[in-house]
């Protein structure tokens, strides 16, 4: 049988959502069949700080950019948002944050 990679093959988890016009509710884009679940999960390289002190928790901002082709995944006029979480080296997952929604512009 095929061995699926671990969830932790990635350490940056992003779930796109699209607003259904008829209900006004956001649904996972994967549930619409337009992408597969986990399609936008990614991996940040190890982040480390060189100091003389013992290892300590790192604080900061991680930024990740994704390019979406116009009309490829999201359609013009659709309202979209994302949930994002990360996992550390010990596989502890962060809280999940939800982005503000954006409307894909119509040309």
Residue from 44, 46, 56, 54 nearest 84 by CA: 44
Res 3: pLDDT: 57
- Tell me, what's the pLDDT at 74? 92
In this predicted model, what pLDDT tens digit does every residue of 22-56 receive, in sequence order? 999 999 999 999 999 889 998 888 777 666 666 66
Q: What is the mean pLDDT of residues 12-27?
A: 95
Task: Tell me the torsion sign for CA atoms 24, 26, 31, 34.
Answer: positive
In this prediction the pTM is: 0.81
Looking up tokens 């992408």 gives 35
Q: Mean per-residue pLDDT for 74-84?
A: 95
Report the range of poorest mean pLDDT among 56-60, 63-67, 81-85, 86-90.
Answer: 56-60
Question: Does position 1 have pLDDT exceeding 80, yes or no?
Answer: no
Would residue 38 be called left, alpha or beta, if left means φ above 0 and alpha means ψ between -120 and 50 degrees? Answer: left
């Amino acid at each position: 049988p095929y061995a699926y990679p671990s969830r932790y093959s990635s350490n940056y988890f992003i779930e796109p959502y699209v607003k259904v016009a008829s209900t006004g509710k956001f649904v996972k884009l994967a549930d619409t069949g337009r992408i597969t679940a986990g399609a936008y999960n990614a991996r940040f390289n190890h982040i480390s700080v060189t100091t003389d002190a013992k290892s300590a928790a790192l604080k900061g901002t991680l930024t990740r950019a994704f390019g979406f082709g116009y009309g490829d995944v999201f359609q013009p006029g659709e309202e979209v948002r994302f949930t994002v979480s990360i996992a550390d080296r010990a596989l502890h997952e962060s809280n999940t944050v939800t982005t503000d929604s954006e409307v894909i512009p119509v040309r």
